[in-house]
Chain A
Amino acid sequence: MNELLWTYVGWPLLKILVILLALVLLAAYLSWFERKLLAYMQIRLGPNRVGPKGWLQPIADALKLFVKEDLTPGFAEKFVFLLGPVLIIVPALVVFSVIPFGPSPHLFITDVNIGVLFILAVSSIGVYGIILGGWASNNKFSLMGGLRSAAQMISYEVPMGFSVVTVLILAKSLSLVRIVEAQKQAGLWFVFPGFVAFLVYFICGVAETNRNPFDLPEAESELVAGYHTEYSGMKFAFYFLAEYANMVVVSSLATVMFFGGWLRPFPNVSALAFLDVIPPLVWFLLKVAFFLFLYIWFRGTFPRYRFDQLMGIGWKVLLPVSLVNLLVVAYFVSLPGGQV
């Protein structure tokens, strides 16, 4: 009995707790990483007062947000205003339950056989958090930010879905663990056969997380702060945290689907076997870190697209490209001996 309790309740709960804590901490430190990196790109120093080299800055920020007065504007729709941050943070964290960080069963919470579908479904809920939060604030700038975000996330979901389907065709499975294992069997990362799909996926991923150059919903110079203009204290922190958690989700998915998850480069080439000294978890984190770096690099380089241009790219460029790419990949896979 005791053993059953441990296997089905205790151990999973412990794993969830550890991953949750690690994730929240990671998201917080991602903000530190971003500020520091941006600072070096912009010939400044970045946070350097709290702790050595500013290492404690995220902790200080979190503390500040904790003790800040939690304002609810008098004209806001109280319940929905409260619901907004919940709806955005929960899906952002839940998604991690199916992401495999490594091969052993201890390194992921669960392996659902419809993992990819689960992630797409759950992460789409997040858009409600933004649109409801924007609407409930009863502020015109928030409303416009919320509407922009809803339109943006929904239109970029479509090409993203098609690029994911490309991977599914290659891996013949929806389970994320299987997708990685398929790449091991094939002996190469799926980014090589599915490079176009990867490009489409990553552009959509940047748009989905509302980051530069697609950061219109919170375009500071246009909409003040967009959908979270009226939010303060921990409610604001949830929006903030969710944005960074979503960045980690998109980067993790890119790693799992296109860059072989926890596998080392060229997993079947034995000449590179010495690379195995680096544990799988580290490989995974390194790849994720690379994508996060890309995110920040974009932010340091690009201006912002306009709303109509953004929708144009989504529907007129990315959607046709992803469709054609899907057809091409499907054709080659269906050829005799075309198994990747």
Chain B
Amino acid sequence: MADLQATLLGGEEMEVSFGPQHPATHGVLRLLLKVDGEKIVDAKPIIGYLHRGTEKLFERETYPQCIPHTDRMDYTAAATNNQGFVGAVEKLMGITIPPRAAYIRMILAELQRIASHIIWLATHALDIGAVTPFFYTFEEREKILDLFEEYCGARLTLNTMRIGGVPWDLPEGWTHRCRRFVDELPKKIEDWERLLTNNRIWKARTVGVGVIDAEKAIAWGLTGPPLRGSGVAWDIRKVFPYDHYNEVEFHIPTGKNGDTYDRYLVRMEEMRQSVRIIRQCLDRLPDGPVMAWVPKVIRPPKGEVYFSVEGPKGELGYYIVSDGNVTPYRVRVRPPCFVNLQALPELVKGHLVADVVAVIGTLDIVLGEIDR
């Protein structure tokens, strides 16, 4: 029947170049789509339009000079990028950071996770045609950026962690303002969910779209919400705790069906869990210094190290090879977006053109990190 239909009705396949200047590809992703009418036969992501040679740049800079470059990889989550890099160097040098610094790092990282998820929600909803959540969510993100600005002076590329701790103590009244923000946020998240979660159209567009089961998700190397959406409770903060994540309570939200809707629910719940973590951190915030003693010139011993953190988008790992010099011999970044993007052709095959934007949105990719 299908063959008969194909011979009678089937047209030619058309090749559509989707991007790199397309409004829904979140930057400069280019997809070469083979479509039969509106149906996707094949999709091929083409990357490299934002390549800046970050990994090569690392080899030229001293260790502290590398930190600002990490900001510019996943530019929607600078704090967690910093956290991964300084953590790797500290692990290599065997530095233990003071508890106050660790807690500040956790607060910043969780705020960053919320900010990153907000961007994801705003653009994902916008791609599916709901314009209004964009403005509601960005109002909250603005407040997070204000908190960042007050702490370190920057809003987007924070450069807010140093090898051995954090550069500054929290400004006066900051914890109070931060607490007020996290107290208000759950109500706002409820508002956003009221617009989308039970919306028939939203469900029609996301349930059963881009399905990947747990086994396949692991085989593709997915991490972060795309993996948890498929029901695998894997979170670096839990399985390899860093900073003081083993001291705070939170749970890992997981989905069941591994579709776009489940990944949406997972991320929404993650924002609430981040709020929970921030609250505990603010309650426990110990006194003390914010920098450990570190040598003036950072010169890690010869050797190599792999250290990863749970970024908003998945496992963000740094693999550093040191030859005992002031600059790293080689830094390799394991970017979550790059690995998650691989699964895109698998996720969109057989779906319609409209689903491509939904899947791009649900993978939550940032091209700055994919190309580096």
Q: Report Cα–Cα, A308/B209, bound state, in Å.
A: 13
Given A301-B195, A306-B355, answer yes or no on A221-B16 (Cβ-Cβ < 8 Å).
no
Q: Which of A127-163 contact B (CB under 8 A)?
A: 140-141, 144, 148
Given contacts A144-B38, A301-B195, A306-B204, contact A221 B132 (CB under 8 A): no
Bound form: Cα–Cα A223–B204 in Å? 20
Q: What are the residues of chain B within 8 A of A42 when measuring CB–CB?
A: 131-132, 134-136
Chain B residues positioned under 8 Å from A219 (CB to CB): 129, 354
Judge whether A309 is part of the interface by a CB distance below 8 angstroms: yes
Q: Is B95 an interface residue, CB under 8 A from the partner?
A: no
The answer to whether A220 and B23 have CB atoms under 8 Å apart is: yes
> Which residues of the other chain, A, contact B16 by a CB distance below 8 angstroms?
140-141
A297-320 Cβ-contact flags toward B at 8 Å (1 or 0)? 001111111111100000000000
The answer, yes or no, to whether B330 is at the interface (CB within 8 Å) is no
Determine if B22 and A224 form an interchain contact, defined as CB atoms under 8 angstroms apart: yes
Which residue in chain A gives the minimum CB-CB distance to B17? A140
Interface 9-residue window, one of B99-107, B120-128, B303-311 = B120-128
The 4 closest A-B pairs by CB, nearest first: A304-B129, A221-B24, A42-B135, A303-B130
- Give the distance in Å from the alpha carbon of A141 to the alpha carbon of B357 in the complex: 14
Complex Cα spacing A288 to B20, Å? 42
Q: Is A256's beta carbon under 8 Å from chain B? A: no
Contact yes or no, B201 A300, CB < 8 A = no
Most B C-beta atoms less than 10 A away, residue of A41, A219, A221, A305:
A221
CB distance from A54 to the nearest CB of B (A): 18
Chain B, 317-355, CB within 8 A of any chain A CB: 352-355
Smallest beta-carbon distance A202→chain B, Å = 17
* Contact B195 A213, beta carbon cutoff 8 Å: no
Nearest CB in chain A: distance from B56 CB, A: 34
B205 within 8 A of A: yes
When the two chains form their complex, are residues A303 and B205 in contact, meaning their CB atoms are under 8 A apart? yes
A315 to chain B, nearest CB (A): 16
Would you call A303 and B201 a contact (CB within 8 A)? yes
Interface code B192-210, partner A: CB below 8 Å = 1, 0 otherwise?
A: 0001100101101100000
CA distance A196 to B342 in the complex (A): 48
Whether B135 and A43, one on each chain, are in contact in the complex, defined by CB atoms closer than 8 angstroms, is yes
Q: Which residue of B lies closest to A220 (CB)?
A: B23
Which residue from A144, A300, A307 sits with its C-beta under 8 Å from B131? A300
B residues within 8 A CB of A216?
Answer: 354
Decide if A222 is an interface residue (CB 8 Å cutoff): yes
Instruction: Known A42-B131, A212-B129; judge A221-B357 contact (CB<8 A).
Output: yes
Interface residues on B, range: 20 to 34
Query: Closest approach, in angstroms, between the C-beta of A78 and any C-beta of chain B?
Result: 23
Most A CB atoms within 10 A — which of B131, B135, B355? B131
Nearest Cβ on chain B to A310's Cβ, whole angstroms: 10
* Closest chain B residue, CB of each to CB of A38: B131
* A-chain residues with CB within 8 Å of residue B38 when the two chains form the complex: 144, 148, 307-308
Bound Cα distance from A38 to B23, whole angstroms: 21
Cβ distance B268 to chain A, nearest Cβ, rounded Å: 16
Measured between alpha carbons, how far is A41 from B132 in the docked complex, in Å? 8
**Residue A208 lies at the interface, judged by CB distance under 8 Å to chain B:** no
What are 27 contact pairs spanning A and B, CB under 8 A? Answer: A41-B132, A42-B134, A42-B136, A43-B135, A43-B139, A44-B135, A141-B16, A220-B23, A221-B128, A221-B357, A222-B24, A299-B131, A300-B132, A301-B130, A302-B199, A302-B201, A303-B125, A303-B128, A303-B196, A303-B201, A304-B129, A304-B130, A304-B354, A306-B204, A307-B353, A308-B38, A309-B204
B46 interface residue (CB < 8 Å to A): no
Chain B: which residue is nearest A148 at the CB level? B38
Q: Render A180-191 as a binary contact track against B, CB cut-off 8 A, 1 for contact.
A: 000000000000
Complex CA gap A144/B247 in Å reads 54
Determine whether the beta carbon of A305 is less than 8 Å from that of B204: yes
Q: Which residues of B contact A144 (CB under 8 A)?
A: 38, 353
Give bound CA distance, A223 to B18, whole Å.
9
Size band of the interface chain A makes with B? 20 to 34
Binding site for A on B (CB under 8 A): 14, 16, 22-24, 38, 125-132, 134-136, 139, 195-196, 199, 201-202, 204-205, 352-357
Determine how close the nearest CB of chain B comes to the CB of A42; give it in whole angstroms.
4
A230 in the interface, Cβ–Cβ < 8 Å?
A: no
Complex Cα distance, B353 from A216, in Å, reads 11
Interface pair B129/A221, CB less than 8 Å apart: yes
Instruction: Name the residue of chain B whose CB is nearest to the CB of A216.
Output: B354
Q: Are B205 and A304 in contact (CB under 8 A)?
A: yes
Residues of B within 8 A of A213 (CB): 129, 201
Does A215 count as interface, using CB distance less than 8 angstroms?
yes
Q: Are B129 and A215 in contact (CB under 8 A)?
A: yes
In the complex, the chain B residue whose C-beta lies closest to that of A299 is B131
Which chain B residues lie closer than 8 Å to A41 at the CB level?
132
Given the interface pairs A219-B354, A307-B352, the reply to whether A301 lies near B14 with Cβ below 8 Å is: no
Give chain A interface residues in 28-72, CB to chain B under 8 Å. Answer: 38, 41-44
Nearest-neighbour CB distance to chain A for B36, whole angstroms, equals 12
Q: Which residues of A contact B356 (CB under 8 A)?
A: 222
Partner of A222, one of B131, B202, B354: B354
CA distance A300 to B132 in the complex (A): 6
Residue pair B129, A140 in contact (C-beta under 8 Å): no
Closest residue of A by beta carbon distance from B125 = A303
A219 vs B352: C-alpha distance when bound (angstroms): 14
Residues of A with C-beta under 8 A to B24:
220-222
Report the separation of the CA atoms of residues A65 and B156 in the bound assembly, to the nearest whole angstrom: 36
The smallest beta-carbon distance between B358 and chain A, in angstroms, is 9
Q: How far is the CA of A38 from the CA of B132 in the complex (A)?
A: 8
Give the residue among B127, B132, B352 with the most A Cβ atoms within 10 A.
B132
Nearest neighbor of B202 in chain A, beta-carbon distance: A303
Chain A residues contacting B22 (CB-CB under 8 Å) are 224
Instruction: For B132, list chain A residues within 8 Å (CB).
Output: 41-42, 300-301
Q: Are B352 and A303 in contact (CB under 8 A)?
A: no
A305 & B353 in contact (Cβ 8 Å cutoff): no
Contact B205 A306 (CB under 8 A): yes
Q: Which residues of A contact B129 (CB under 8 A)?
A: 212-213, 215, 219, 221, 302-304
Alpha-carbon gap, A306 to B131, bound state (A): 16
Q: How far is the CB of B288 from chain A (nearest CB, A)?
A: 41
CA distance A304 to B353 in the complex (A): 13
Distance between A131 CB and nearest chain B CB, rounded to angstroms: 15
Interface residues of A in 184-235 (CB under 8 A from B): 212-213, 215-216, 219-224
Q: Tell me which residues across on chain B come within 8 A of A309, comparing CB atoms.
A: 204-205
